[in-house]
Chains A and B, each alone.
Chain A
Amino acid sequence: MKKLGIHICFLLCFFSGFGQDEIIQSTRQEVDSILQLVEAEKDPAKRFELILDIYDTRVEGYPLLILETFQKLLLIAQKSKDIIAESNAYSLAGQGYRLSGDHIKGLDYHHKAIVLAEKSRNISVLSWAQNQIGHIYKDRGENEKALNLYTAAKQNASAGKVKILEVWPMMNLAAVFLATNQLDSSLFYGKLAYEKTVALRGFATQSSYIFSNIAGAYSKMGDNPKALEYYNKAINSADENHSVRYRAMAYQAFAEHFQRSRQTDSCILYAKKAIDVVHNSVFSYLAIKPSKLLTDIYENSNADSTIKYLKIYKAANDSLNNTRANQQLQMMTFEEDQRQRDIAAEKINYQNKIRTNLLLAAIGVFLIIGLILYQNNRQKQKANKILEATLDNLKSTQSQLVQSEKMASLGELTAGIAHEIQNPLNFVNNFSEVSAELVKEMVEEMDKGNKDEVKAIANDLVQNLEKINHHGKRADGIVKGMLQHSRSGSGIKEPTNINALADEYLRLAYHGLRAKDKSFNAAMKTDFDDSIGNINILPQDMGRVILNLITNAFYAVNEKKKTLTATTSAVYEPAVTVSTKRKEGKVMISVTDNGNGIPKKVIEKIFQPFFTTKPTGQGTGLGLSMSYDIVTKGHGGELKVETKENEGATFIISLPA
């Protein structure tokens, strides 16, 4: 007992005597020089990191010094209107009151710190404020609340710029997980916190606390050698830092370890050490846990000791956990929770507002896109209308061209027709004149009584009348044909003598060309199959086809003749043959020329509209395409061409008969 007394006396001298004053003095100097740097620094973010350096001093060992520092920092912050520094100042105050055992005031200041941190929108600062307020709940064993705060602090630290801030929530999470027996998590965070602290700062003021938690985790896991190793490290580190608080906490933790391993004597020894360390110090409330432990141990064996430690426990507990204080704290916590809920509601409101705005913006964008598309569509419709109009124009132009093609071929024919009509008319006139003479003569012979001569003249007269009739019909046919040709067809097929039709148009074409070009000449040959008889066709359309083919044939032979006679003295007899034939239920009408033939490179194109080999202005390029349409679409037949270069070409119309 005497030995213990000396021991206590020594400890007291060591911690509360001259040694402590010197440490306080040097710590104050350290803190003041940091505050000077803080005041000189204008950038709030850099200031914040300087302020954090305060916690690397031994200031946390002396709550009064913390509160003194709080006052100094608050002045600096308010003077420069720096809400980050102000928040930090309140966090300091909160820590100062917490370590003094005044959780109510501590919580009050921490709340102020959090409000300002939120206002600053600096999540690193918020992380720090959250970490610091978490201690109060950790101290009071409100693990869930503490866990939430430390987790939020860790997340904000990770997201923020000041990475060292991650270390403290980790360290504290290790303590909370240890208290809630989540040992793997505790060990994980404990070791991570230590590694990171060493890596980032090179030293750890709080290493005693970290080691103590690691030791606690190993102890609860039953790994005694590891637990002992870390408890010793925790105690050594606390000694090195001259930290009463960490020393008491380390002893208490060690005592709990011995309780778990049922080493009662060692347990009592360290519990008493924990009480002794804080005796008469500002940390006297730390005697709660060891005194409770000792009360429980002595309860059934030593009444005196039980009472002694029960008293210590009650004193410590009253200072920290009296009923009024508990209620007030709960009220404050409730208010803070309410405030946080309001903030969350406001945040949701704000998010909804943003969402609404985004939605409106999106609708706006869609409207604009819609408008653009609508505009586009309208323009396209306009363009379409223009295109349709152009197409209509083209169609009417095409039909005009087809009409002018008809008229052009008619024009070519006009001269030929004049000749063709002139000839029969001449015959009609001549035969009627000569007949009149014959009648006079016949009367004379009658008077003479020359009966045989009268008979001969009468026979001539009959013949003449037949001739007149024949040539009158011929002229009539030509005129009708011309009218048919210029008229658009009736569209009704009628039985037609294809041989007569071909012959008529052959002659028309020949004389038409002759009328235009006097030097033109060609042999016309016909080879008609008389067995064909009448076939059902559109005569004016088919006549147009035949005329077109014959005109082309004449043109081809004429071209060859021109080039040959111009360059050589070779004998060339241009010839165009029109032949008909009934074959395998079909009627074939062929137009053959002995011209130059059709070159291979154009043979694919000859039936296309507007394709022509004639010089500009001489051909419309519609003749063959029109012919093709008439034969295929109008008559269900075929129009083919056979050609050999330099030898001529044959166009074959084949019609179903």
Chain B
Amino acid sequence: MKILVVDDETDVQVLFEQRFRKEIKSGEMQFVFAFSGEEALTYLNAHEQEAVLILSDINMPGMSGLELLDHIKQKYHKPPPLVMMITAYGDAENFNTAKELGADDFLTKPVDFNQLREKLKTIN
């Protein structure tokens, strides 16, 4: 399962790689990283249908996570990847917007990686 992680914090890459060290090692999960919404779209355009799940931060400079979500849900139909939104602000407004735009799940920071792992495994 290929998972695209989108966050403007570059250190998430190291973090994810260590948190899912075993899953990556076993080939169970494959992580790709993009550090902005634009970069994520560029990757998605180049590797259509590869990513099954997209984990995206909402607060990013430039294209926000919600905009990215909008793009993905409107333009990638076959089959639309699952999109999980992550934000530091667990407020109702962002949650509702994300839901309306078709977000499949909603995570708040700090991310509970054990919970995330369970979720990813059920999707798989």
Contact = CB atoms under 8 A, between A and B. Distances in A.
Contact of B88 (A419, A431, A463, A523): A419
Contacts of B63: 521
B109 A518 contact: no
Given A419-B59, A510-B61, A518-B94, A430 B15 contact: yes
A600 to B, nearest CB: 31
A434 B18 contact: yes
A521 B11 contact: no
A521 B67 contact: yes
A511 B60 CA distance: 9
B62 A427 contact: no
Contacts of B111: 426, 430
Contacts of A511: 59
Interface in A413-440: 418-419, 422-423, 425-427, 429-431, 433-434, 438
A431 B111 CA distance: 12
A426 B67 CA distance: 24
A467 B11 CA distance: 8
Given A427-B11, A464-B18, A514 B59 contact: yes
Nearest to B62: A523
B97 to A, nearest CB: 8
Interface residues of A, number: 28
Interface in A439-467: 441, 460, 463-464, 467
A430 B113 contact: yes
Contacts of B15: 427, 430-431, 434, 467
Nearest to B61: A524
B110 interface: yes
A115 interface: no
Nearest to B66: A518
B36 to A, nearest CB: 9
B64 interface: yes
A471 B61 contact: no
- Nearest first, the 9 A-B pairs at minimum CB distance are A523-B62, A524-B61, A426-B110, A434-B18, A521-B64, A419-B88, A422-B88, A430-B15, A434-B19
Nearest to A456: B21
Interface in A504-528: 510-511, 514-515, 518, 521-524
Interface residues of B, number: 22
Contacts of A518: 93-94, 97
Interface of B: 9, 11, 14-15, 18-19, 21, 59, 61-64, 67, 88-89, 93-94, 97, 109-111, 113
B70 to A, nearest CB: 12
Contacts of A425: 110
B62 A521 contact: yes
A463 B14 contact: yes
- Residue among B18, B62, B110 facing the most chain A CB atoms (10 A cut-off): B18
Contacts of A522: 61-62
Contacts of B64: 521
Given A419-B88, A521-B67, A438 B18 contact: yes
Given A434-B18, A434-B113, 6 more contacts: A419-B89, A429-B110, A431-B15, A431-B18, A434-B15, A471-B11
A422 B11 contact: no
A429 B110 CA distance: 9
19 contacts: A422-B88, A422-B109, A422-B110, A423-B88, A426-B110, A427-B11, A430-B15, A430-B111, A430-B113, A431-B18, A434-B113, A438-B21, A467-B14, A471-B11, A518-B93, A518-B94, A521-B62, A523-B61, A524-B61
B105 to A, nearest CB: 19
A460 B61 contact: no
Contacts of A524: 61-62
Contacts of A423: 9, 88, 109
B19 A430 contact: yes
A644 B62 CA distance: 23
B33 to A, nearest CB: 15
Contacts of A467: 11, 14-15
Contacts of A419: 59, 88-89
A464 B89 CA distance: 26
A423 B14 CA distance: 14
A418 B113 CA distance: 21
Interface in A63-88: none
A460 B88 contact: no
A429 B15 CA distance: 11
A430 B110 CA distance: 9
B94 A426 contact: no
A511 B61 CA distance: 9
A438 B94 CA distance: 35
A423 B62 CA distance: 18
Contacts of B21: 438, 441
A364 B56 CA distance: 94
A418 B110 CA distance: 13
B96 to A, nearest CB: 11
B115 to A, nearest CB: 13
A5 to B, nearest CB: 160
Nearest to B97: A518
A426 B9 CA distance: 11
Nearest to A511: B59
A438 B93 CA distance: 38
Contacts of A514: 59
A107 B121 CA distance: 157
A511 B63 CA distance: 14
Nearest to B94: A518
A211 to B, nearest CB: 131
Interface string A511-548: 10011001001111000000000000000000000000
A281 to B, nearest CB: 146
- Residue among B14, B67, B97, B111 facing the most chain A CB atoms (10 A cut-off): B14
